[in-house]
Amino acid sequence: MDTRWMAAATLGAFLAVAPVAKGEGEQGRVMIAPGLYSFTVEHEGETYEIMRNQDPEHLVHPLYATTSRGMPQPMHPFEPYDVETLGEREFVQYMMQAQEDASVMIIDTRTIGWHVRLTIPGARSYPYTMMDDADDRDWALDDFGVTKDSQGEYDFSQAKTLAMFCNGYWCGQTPAMIRKLLALGYPEDKLKYYRGGMQAWTSMGFTVMGEGAE
């Protein structure tokens, strides 16, 4: 068995363990999962430590503090397609896997202004609007491992696994991106939807980067 996938399977089982009360674990630290305090990702040549804020008085980032947002997205908004919806632990698993496996990508589907203001380290910006322009769409799909055959048809045989997020439970940018990819023929099992997005990520005090990072 490929040792990378053996490690990924072990990590998946590790992250699935029931959470410790209030997120506290080793030496009273705020944990991601039992035994997992932090991990590192590479982002544009820099190393970031992904962890939860340890200050007990830390508050949610102002960008995501208000609750008067749009209607929440369904848990499974892509039926009949079987696209997996991720929570924080599952999303973290893909983040860690993407550091070792080029066939996994973490995708910020929001428009560029949102990405610049605040995003998750290790995420690459591919706004959902790229799917509406043929050249931008083909450029993105090429990065996603999709090619075109001699008849101009998309070949998804080497398509990468995309773990995607936007602003939160109420945000429609990732659902729009995923629906457009599905319509093109992108394999449903290669598309992952982190429904909580930036609102959930910041509400748990996870590391962020960008102009608005604290």
pLDDT digits (tens, 9 = 90+) for 117-152: 999 999 999 999 999 999 999 999 999 999 998 888
Comparing CA positions, the residue from 118, 119, 90, 93 lying closest to residue 107 is 119
Residue 214's pLDDT band (boundaries 50, 70, 90)? confident
The pLDDT assigned to 26 comes to 61
HSE-CB for 198 with a 13 A CA cutoff? 30
pLDDT > 90: percent of the chain: 84
The pLDDT assigned to 15 comes to 46
Distance (Å, whole) CA 105 – CA 95? 8
The pLDDT assigned to 24 comes to 54
Neighbours of 73 (CB within 10 A): 19
What is the secondary structure of 153-187 as a DSSP string? -EE-TTPPEEEEE-S-TT--HHHHHHHHHHHHT--
Instruction: Give the tokens for residue 50.
Output: 């992904």
Distance (Å, whole) CA 23 – CA 21? 5
CB 174 within 8 A of CB 193: yes
Ranges assigned E (strand) in 17-151: 38-43, 46-51, 84-86, 104-108, 124-125, 147-148
CB 105 within 8 A of CB 124: yes
Least confident stretch, 15-29, 33-47, 70-84, 102-116: 15-29
| 2: β partners | none
CB 205 within 8 A of CB 53: yes
- The yes/no answer on whether domain 52-203 falls in CATH 1.10.150.20 is no
The pLDDT assigned to 25 comes to 57
CA-to-CA dists, residue 62 to 88, 118, 186, 200, angstroms: 20, 11, 36, 13
CB 121 within 8 A of CB 208: yes
Express each pLDDT in 17-63 by its tens digit.
444 344 455 678 999 999 999 999 999 999 999 999 999 999 999 99
Average pLDDT, the chain: 90
Mean per-residue pLDDT, 178-187: 98
The pLDDT assigned to 46 comes to 93
The residue written with tokens 């949102």 in the block is 114
